[in-house]
Chain A
């Protein structure tokens, strides 16, 4: 199990670092709620908006 953990840890951190360094520059931290008019943390539109 230790070996699995070591591999997952290295692969996971490596993936995170690689994703970060290849991502577009200068973005400010995006929260799931980082936008106007959304009705849920994931950005789902409001039922009232959808009925229109």
Chain B
């Protein structure tokens, strides 16, 4: 593989034109298709997804590495930035979901399904080296390893969809939403207070372990930008940003094309999934932002350096990516989402399930971190 010789004088030669053009063109095609179909909100979701891809890639905003560093040595900067992101989003999501008809927050029943799914997701995210958003922006950004993780993520989430009804039958309680008990502003206050409390606890743990808890400026900017963009996604899609439902739909459509019959699967008779499977991929809000994010990350990466010009990592690492992707896909469906849909979406909506997901996923991460060296991955 040749290495590109970069001239210091011309910035333009740093651009990987083919992939940059392909990413922008692909985005334009998707935007045009949905706009011509009469859905400007869908066009907005693609563009917001594109911007999220750029933001994540440029800020290298990683939940997975941040949580790993926190668990391994107490370093809390990344985790605190994530909490800042959620707080920004909550400012709009909690009140609007409570006050404006047609808008809803991310909710989920609280029970074994949530805890098991989140725990398994946590294992998977550390093996894969990326979570929901992480897989999207790194795969879009040119990591072949993460393409494999994404492929297995898609497969795992279809399998999870087939198992979810059984896990729901294990029991649980209805969602607990702060604004349902305290109104929009009481709910927001409690949500922000809970974020602050957790942030304080995290900072104290960091200090007790002698680690840094001040996020880098770039990460803070990234957090605010991503928080703002997720507000845009909420407003355009009428519910919080979701990543993994799109994967489930893509996988199911491929399976249906190959002849799989979903008419016996309870999940796929529920109104939302049933419609999503029958209708265009581009009528699913989650798919729109996912596709935009992959293409945005690709464009940002191609505008920075030669695209996908790294070597494939060792087989062990690729196997970890595959297993991690599969566990994340399955876990996200059983646990009602990933770090974005369940953690960011849930907490920013004022739903208790977001925090429970977080704690369970952290538990899974501890296991996942221990397994990493088996695949040649670092412990921190």
Q: Complex Cα distance A2/B301, Å? A: 13
Contact A44 B109 (CB under 8 A): yes
Q: How far is the CA of A8 from the CA of B250 in the complex (A)?
A: 14
In the complex, are the beta carbons of A32 and B144 less than 8 A apart?
A: no
B41, A29: Cβ atoms under 8 Å? yes
Say yes or no: A47-B29 contact (C-beta < 8 A), given A24-B279, A32-B239, A35-B272. no
A8 to B38: give the CA distance in the assembly, Å: 28
Q: Output the least CB separation between A32 and chain B (Å).
A: 4
B109 touching A42, Cβ below 8 Å? no
Cβ contacts B262-273/A at 8 Å (1 or 0 each): 000001001111
| A20/B33 in contact, CB under 8 A | yes
Do the beta carbons of A41 and B106 come within 8 Å of each other? yes
A4 and B108 alpha carbons, distance in the complex (Å): 38
Q: Interface size class for chain A?
A: 35 or more
Q: Contact partner of A19 among B45, B175, B253, CB < 8 A? A: B253
Chain B residues near A27 (CB-CB < 8 A) = 275, 279-280, 283
- B279 x A32 contact (CB < 8 A): no
B271 close to A39 (CB less than 8 A): no
Tell whether A1 pairs with B109 under 8 Å between CB atoms, given A16-B281, A29-B237, A47-B168.
no
Contacts of A41 in B (CB 8 A): 106-108, 239, 242, 245, 336-337, 341, 345
Distance between Cα atoms of A32 and B238 in the complex (Å): 10
The chain A residue with its CB closest to the CB of B238 is A31
Contact of B164 among A30, A44, A47 (CB under 8 A): A44
Is B100 interfacial (CB 8 A cutoff)?
no
Given A2-B309, A20-B282, are A34 and B275 neighbors across the interface (CB < 8 Å)? yes
Contacts of A39 in B (CB 8 A): 107-109, 174-175
Contact of B22 among A9, A38, A44 (CB under 8 A): A9
B106 CB contacts on chain A under 8 angstroms: 33, 41
Interface membership of B8, Cβ < 8 A: no
Residues in A whose Cβ lies below 8 Å from that of B42: 29
Contact with B along A2-23 (1 / 0, CB 8 A): 1011101100010011011001
Kindly state the separation between the CA atoms of A8 and B307 in the bound complex, as whole angstroms: 14
Nearest chain B CB to A12 CB, angstrom units: 8
A6 to B14, CA, bound (A): 19
Residues in chain A near residue B107, CB distance under 8 A: 39-41
**CA of A48 to CA of B173, assembled, Å:** 7
**Do A29 and B336 touch (CB < 8 A)?**
no
Complex: chain A residue closest to B168, CB-CB: A44
Interface segment, B196-204, B205-213, B284-292, B371-379? B284-292
CB atoms of A1 and B144 under 8 A apart: yes
Contact between A50 and B168, CB atoms less than 8 A apart: yes
Complex CA gap A29/B45 in Å reads: 11
Cβ contact within 8 Å between B280 and A31: no
A interface list, Cβ under 8 A from B? 1-2, 4-6, 8-9, 13, 16-17, 19-20, 23-24, 26-35, 38-48, 50
19 A–B contact pairs at CB < 8 A?
A1-B308, A2-B307, A5-B307, A9-B19, A13-B29, A17-B29, A20-B281, A28-B283, A29-B288, A32-B239, A32-B272, A32-B276, A33-B106, A40-B107, A42-B333, A46-B109, A46-B174, A47-B111, A47-B172
Interchain residue pairs A-B with the least CB separation, the first 4: A23-B280, A43-B272, A43-B270, A35-B271
